[in-house]
A and B are shown apart, each in its own frame.
Chain A
Amino acid sequence: EIVLTQSPGTLSLSPGERATLSCKASQSVTSTYLGWYQQRPGQAPRLLIYGASIRATGIPDRFSGSGSGTDFTLTISRLEPEDFAVYYCQQYGTFGQGTKLEVK
């Protein structure tokens, strides 16, 4: 069973800064199965990125995904107030434990 480990657990940044979130798989995964989701407090998760690097419909271009094999990254180029949330990576039937992005 593949395990996805996200780091850091919590990331404290200010609006306008760049955020880099990591997702490491315990074994090589198919990148077309790798997605990133955002969950704001009290809301359902929302798809941001699929296929490791393809933005979902309506997702701003400040969000980008990259990576292959066992190492994947979600980058938010310039943080907006609404971006402070929890982010999960997912591969098929497995989720990472999440990274909480909080205001510094």
Chain B
Amino acid sequence: DVHLAQSGAELKKPGESLKISCEASGYDFTSSWIAWVRQMPGRGLEWMGIIYPGDSDARYSPSFQGQVTISADKSISTAFLQWTSLKASDTAMYYCARRMRRAAAGSFYYYMDVWGKGTTVTVAS
């Protein structure tokens, strides 16, 4: 069974650092991209960025470039999302998801088929 297990809820203070994780199981971790998605309280989904664990190629949405770091350790099938200095506005639920690329009939299909349950991050003084 394909599964993404995310780390537990975090309560941090402004200015602190944080690294949350997403551990994959049930498939070849190095062969599919992992995306990170933010959902602020009561709001919609926002694409933060994506990483290919095979070579750690990471790409960021312009809104999140320079604000977070996405990394992966293929030896433990785990992707990470990291902040060096949290702000109150980072309070949100963060989801990881497997981004599939499927080739069929001469076309490529892209979709996020497996999601973690999310990690709640609360930043408050």
A residues within 8 Å of B by Cβ? 1, 32-33, 35, 37, 39, 44-47, 50-51, 54, 56-57, 86, 88, 90, 92-98
Contact residues of B: prevailing secondary structure: strand
Q: Which residue of B lies closest to A95 (CB)?
A: B45
Q: Are A44 and B110 in contact (CB under 8 A)?
A: no
**Interface residue tally on B, bucketed by range:** 20 to 34
- Quick one: given A95-B44, A98-B44, are A51 and B115 in contact (CB under 8 Å)? no
- Quick one: given A94-B47, A95-B47, A98-B45, are A45 and B110 in contact (CB under 8 Å)? no
Contact among A46, A50, A94 for B115, CB-based, below 8 A: A46
B113 to chain A: which residues have CB within 8 Å?
47, 50, 56-57
Residues of B66-111 whose CB lies within 8 A of A: 95, 97, 107-111
